[in-house]
């Protein structure tokens, strides 16, 4: 992608990115509140308004995405929903569901984008592209609005597929390391939580995730695109 193309789609990419991040963190906050931890809810994070999430993590929600897009032609960033660690120790399974809520929100957004793409193709407003990329999963008509919608839906689908997959990796500080509580005994979960809370494990987990995710995401992305177009033309 050229610099000119990247600058042209940057606003749409940021909107898709911020929507995805906001839904992810709001889902964490909502499910934690349902489970008895109102920490994030009290901070106003059970909302689809991005402002409380931006105010909590301004660097991760504003500066990091812009810097990464300019330097790497890729948008990365982060946000967070606070929770009570003592609540997690008392209710590790509830905490696990809270952790899964964020990736689940991203899965739902990816499905919504996929449905919108298929409706657009069925109505002749969108078309399968000649080549597939992160920002081009469907093409629009020569009309500028159609082309913009095609780009936005492409990014929304791919961005949420990426966020869901990345956060499910079972390493700290990602959601997956808390979600493992659904598959372990309560005693084993508490031991695992105590172990990964030791200093340094968060950084080690991010290094592991960063180095492995490129290989992991490629087949996930390919499978997602195949599912997006399953049955097309048949």
Q: What is the pLDDT along the chain (234 residues), one digit of tens a residue?
A: 667 777 789 999 999 999 999 999 999 999 999 999 999 999 999 999 999 999 999 999 999 999 988 887 888 899 999 999 899 989 999 999 999 999 999 999 999 999 999 999 999 999 999 889 999 999 998 888 999 999 999 999 999 999 999 999 999 999 999 998 888 888 898 888 888 888 888 888 888 888 888 889 999 999 999 999 988 754
Contact by Cβ (8 Å): 134, 158:
yes
Q: 173: cis peptide before it, omega within 30°?
A: yes
Q: What is the reported pLDDT for 1?
A: 64
Cα distances (angstroms) measured from residue 177 to each of 18, 61, 145, 148, 187: 24, 23, 41, 37, 15
Identify whether 221 is part of a domain: yes
Identify whether 177 is part of a domain: yes
Identify whether 145 is part of a domain: yes
Identify whether 175 is part of a domain: yes
Identify whether 233 is part of a domain: no
Which residues does residue 139 pair with via DSSP β-bridges, in sequence order?
127
Identify whether 99 is part of a domain: yes
Q: What secondary structure does DSSP assign to 80-134, as a single string? A: -----HHHHHH-HHHHHHHHHHHHHHHHHHHHHHHHHHHHHHHTTSEE--SS-BT
User: In total, how many domains does the chain have?
Assistant: 1
Structural domain boundaries, residue 79? 3-228
Q: What is the reported pLDDT for 184?
A: 85
- In the block, residue with structure tokens 């929770």: 83
Q: What is the reported pLDDT for 234?
A: 45
């Amino acid at each position: 992608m050229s610099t000119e193309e990247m600058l042209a789609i940057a606003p749409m990419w940021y909107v898709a990115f911020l929507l995805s991040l906001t839904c992810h963190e709001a889902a964490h906050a909502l499910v934690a509140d349902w489970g008895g931890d109102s920490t994030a809810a009290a901070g106003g994070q059970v909302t689809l308004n991005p402002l409380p999430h931006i105010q909590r993590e301004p660097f991760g929600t504003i500066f990091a995405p812009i810097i990464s897009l300019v330097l790497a032609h890729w948008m990365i960033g982060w946000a967070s929903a606070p929770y009570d660690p003592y609540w997690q120790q008392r209710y590790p399974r509830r905490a696990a569901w809270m952790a899964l809520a964020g990736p689940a929100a991203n899965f739902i957004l990816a499905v919504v984008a996929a449905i919108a793409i298929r409706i657009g193709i069925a109505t002749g407003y969108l078309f399968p592209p000649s080549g597939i990329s992160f920002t081009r999963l469907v093409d629009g008509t020569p009309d500028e609005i159609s082309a913009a919608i095609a780009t936005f839906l492409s990014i929304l689908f791919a961005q949420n597929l990426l966020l869901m997959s990345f956060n499910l990796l079972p390493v700290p500080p990602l959601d997956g390391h808390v979600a493992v509580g659904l598959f372990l005994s309560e005693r084993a979960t508490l031991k695992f939580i105590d172990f990964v809370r030791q200093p340094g494990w968060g950084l080690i987990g991010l290094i592991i995730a960063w180095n492995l995710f490129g290989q992991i995401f490629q087949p996930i992305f390919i499978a997602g695109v195949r599912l997006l177009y399953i049955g097309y033309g048949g």
